[in-house]
Amino acid sequence: MFRHQKQLQFEVKVDRPDPMLARQVQEVLGGQFGEMTVMMQYLFQGFNCRGEEKYKDMLMDIGTEEIGHVEMLCSLISQLLDGASPEDQAEAAKDPAIAAIMGGINPQHLLVSGLGGLPTNANGVPWNGAYIVASGNLLADMRSNLHAESQGRLQVARLYHMTTDEGVRATFRKMLARDRYHQYQWMAAIAELEEKNGVVVPASFPAEAEQESQPQAYEFWNLSEGSESSEGLWATGSAPDGSGDFVFIEEPIAKGQVPSPSIPSEKLHHDLDITQLPAK
């Protein structure tokens, strides 16, 4: 059960309206790595979590916090849009540089939402449920969560430097601080799960089924020009679980067959000139 509280998690207050900044903020609201994504990702992982209760509880805690972040960004966008009008859009377009870079304010803020936040990215592309990861494997999901928080915090940091509005920056600083903690949190959960189950996902796949291909589990294949990649720990170190040592393969050898698919029936109307095809 969820219960809404009218107060925002943190004070959101802008110094001045800025419709074009509102358009930019849409990215960290409804973009691939925006707050809507992490909100839905953590909640669905929590809804479907099986096993130790502490992981479900943590996911629901953070997912619920992210609902509040979505509301904060909607409030921020609404304040940035206060006073915006079609005339403002026309005025912005008079400056060739602004018109070229920004294309004016987001017309959907005027036409669709009535000066409110939208579940879209900065270019108006609708938020997509395919952005979220909820696999049922805790370690795989926690790694996805760390990735999402890393990308999301990166985008907020970039937005921070795209405005001089101290009110907006204050909101961003709060979000950056929470995103810092969330990265710590997922890293701690990942370390705990790796200690229990190992570092490879899924840990439950039987090792004996890999035995024939086992050497390839430790080989780095040099498949691009240059060999600088041989200097990394991924090519010279040991596997994180201590199960083997990495080997740099300078010239990997292809060991598979050359594909030679059969010619399909002419009833499929492939229009191939069979007389020109090599004989088998």
The domain that holds 177 is classified in CATH as: 1.20.1260.10
| 222 assigned to some structural domain | yes
Helical pair 19-30 and 138-160, crossing angle rounded to 10 deg: 170
Based on the domain organization, do 44 and 68 belong to the same domain?
yes
Higher pLDDT among residues 66 and 115, named by residue: 66
Whether the Cβ atoms of residue 187 and residue 146 lie closer than 8 Å to each other: yes
Average pLDDT of the residues of the chain: 90
Of 9, 23, 59, 6, the closest CA to residue 171 belongs to 9
Amino acid at 127: W
The 10s digit of each residue's pLDDT in 245-274 is: 999 999 999 888 998 888 888 888 888 887
Based on the domain organization, do 228 and 106 belong to the same domain?
no
Whether the Cβ atoms of residue 159 and residue 25 lie closer than 8 Å to each other: yes
Per 3-state DSSP, the chain is made up of helix, strand and coil in percentages (nearest 5) of 55, 5, 40
Mean pLDDT calculated for residue range 31-48: 98
User: 230-250 burial, b for 16+ CB within 10 Å, e for fewer?
Assistant: eeeeebeeeeeeeeeebebee
Based on the domain organization, do 39 and 151 belong to the same domain?
yes
| 274 assigned to some structural domain | no
Based on the domain organization, do 74 and 173 belong to the same domain?
yes
Number of domains in the chain: 2
Based on the domain organization, do 189 and 225 belong to the same domain?
no
| 126 assigned to some structural domain | yes
Q: Which pLDDT does position 70 carry in this prediction?
A: 98
- Residue 120 DSSP one-character state: B
Based on the domain organization, do 48 and 145 belong to the same domain?
yes
Q: How far apart are CA 83 and CA 79, in angstroms?
A: 9
Mean pLDDT calculated for residue range 32-60: 97
- Where in the sequence is the domain holding 95, given as residue range(s)? 19-197
